[in-house]
Structure 1
Amino acid sequence: MTLRRGGRLALLFAFALGMLALSGCHHDNMQWRLTDVSGHMPDLDFKLVDDHGKPVTGQDYRGKVVLLYFGYTHCPDVCPLTLAQLHVALKQLGPLADDVRILFVSVDPARDTPDVMHAYVSAFDPRAVGLSGAPRDLEALSKRYRSAYTREPDQADGQYEVSHSSAIYVFDRDGKARLLSTPANPQDDLVHDLHQLLSPGSPS
């Protein structure tokens, strides 16, 4: 679920505008359609648990182009929509998509166990990996990439939702942050930029 109206949404909008202002600073000759964050965000780095219960780090995904997204399995709308759109985008890439990994990072570790995460991400794409971990580790990773999430109050049935930002962070094969995709970006823009990152001879 996207961040609700008010201060948090305004903060995210201001961040997006700031990233757009940086998009003119290219470190290569590529013509990106998404927001270029090269040199402005940290490398892919974390210590979490994947959806098989195995400890993993950012280093485990070197050699792959990574799409990092924060969400949770009980999300009623934006998470399933985003994962479905990523699946379609990867299908459009054809064989190149084998070198892409979707890292779906849970912001609801209390409910998103490895088994739950595995069933969820597998329903969308075989190249999707569910990641979870201790709340402090998830919070640290979220802050590292200037993301945000908050647990909403429990509803009458004891259930709750988690408000979270909805950007997709794109990292190259060397784990360098390269691009930022938001819901405002057409899917074709993501496909175009991923194709450039994945094509032989593309700069890392």
Structure 2
Amino acid sequence: MAVAHDCFEPNSPMPFPFFTARAQAASSPASARRTRFLRFAAACAAAAALAGCTPRGEPWRLANVTGHLPDLTFSLTGEDGRPIDASAFRGRAALVYFGYTHCPDVCPETMARLMRVLALLSPQARSEVRILFVSVDPARDTPAAMRDYVGAFDAEHAYGLTGSERQIESLAKRYRVAYQMEKRDPNGSYEVTHSSAVYVFDAQGRARLLATDQDSPDAIAADLRRIIVNRS
């Protein structure tokens, strides 16, 4: 479904949180069906929220959230175990995704899709982008776990961030990200229901766009190029 995304009035309320996706074990047909249903429902919710919008000028291919979300600000723990804040990533566009390393399908699929986005960019444009993978499962996602997980995709352009439960909760609330730990199974394992959107911030840390799993790598890359070129 094609939707014109460049359409939010500066002072209009945003229909957040847009998207939640339950990461399910692929081995269960019922779980797989539920995952597909939730993704479809998220896409429908986005389409409904954006229906009737009219683009101004050259439309963005992703949802334009400029002026509706705060600048990128956080105090978390980096892959090296040291405190880190958003200023470490200023000067580059940032793709921010909330997930967790034990996620069986949605998170690795999203990271793989973001790798395809990077591959579509020129080497120069790629150097202007960082992917920030923020854990919603800080109890299990240690700095080392985040480093290994993110590094398996792209150790140069992707960076894992974790922190205390309070820090993660505060950051998630800041960007209206929904997540919830599910009931533990008999082995003590659990899954986390979490938002599946990717937030795009420009080099100044301003929230600009929001991508869903319905947005193609081509669409994300096209808008990202515009973000990089228009740095001011």
TM superposition score category, shorter chain reference: 0.7 to 0.9
Change in 2 beyond 3 A, CA 1:175/1:112: same
2:12 paired residue number: none
Q: Deviations over 1:144-195 (max 9, x none)?
A: 1111100001112111111101000000000000000011112211011011
Scaled by the length of structure 2, what TM-score is found? 0.77
Write the mapping of 1:27-106 to structure 2, written as runs, cut at 5 A: 30-95=58-123, 96-106=125-135
Aligned length: 198
Q: Deviations over 1:49-70 (max 9, x none)?
A: 1111121111221101000000
Matched, 1:118 2:147: yes
Within 2, Cα distance between the matches of 1:115 and 1:122?
10
Question: Which 10-residue stretch deviates more, 75-84 or 8-17?
Answer: 8-17
Write the mapping of 1:11-22 to structure 2, written as runs, cut at 5 A: 16=46, 20=50
CA contact (8 A) 2:78 2:162 kept: yes
Change in 2 beyond 3 A, CA 1:141/1:18: farther
CA contact (8 A) 1:72 1:112 kept: yes
SS in structure 1 opposite 2:208?
strand
Within 1, Cα distance between the matches of 2:48 and 2:93?
24
Q: CA deviation at 1:20?
A: 2.9
Quick check: which has more Rg, 1 or 2?
2
Counterpart of 1:58, as a letter, is A
Write the mapping of 1:187-202 to structure 2, written as runs, cut at 5 A: 187-199=217-229, 202=230
Within 2, Cα distance between the matches of 1:134 and 1:112?
10
Write the mapping of 1:157-168 to structure 2, written as runs, cut at 5 A: 157-168=187-198
SS in structure 1 opposite 2:134?
strand
Within 2, Cα distance between the matches of 1:180 and 1:64?
17
Matched, 1:151 2:170: no
Scaled by the length of structure 1, what TM-score is found? 0.88
Question: Which 10-residue stretch deviates more, 109-118 or 29-38?
Answer: 29-38
Within 2, Cα distance between the matches of 1:46 and 1:11?
30
RMSD of Structure 2 on Structure 1 (CA): 2.5
CA contact (8 A) 2:81 2:143 kept: yes
SS in structure 2 opposite 1:155?
coil
CA contact (8 A) 1:53 1:114 kept: yes
Counterpart of 2:149, as a letter, is Y
Change in 2 beyond 3 A, CA 1:174/1:115: same
Give unmatched runs, 5+ long, in structure 1.
none
Identical-pair percentage: 48
Within 2, Cα distance between the matches of 1:17 and 1:42?
23
Give unmatched runs, 5+ long, in structure 2.
1-19, 24-33
Change in 2 beyond 3 A, CA 1:10/1:78: closer
Within 2, Cα distance between the matches of 1:166 and 1:114?
22
CA contact (8 A) 2:93 2:200 kept: yes
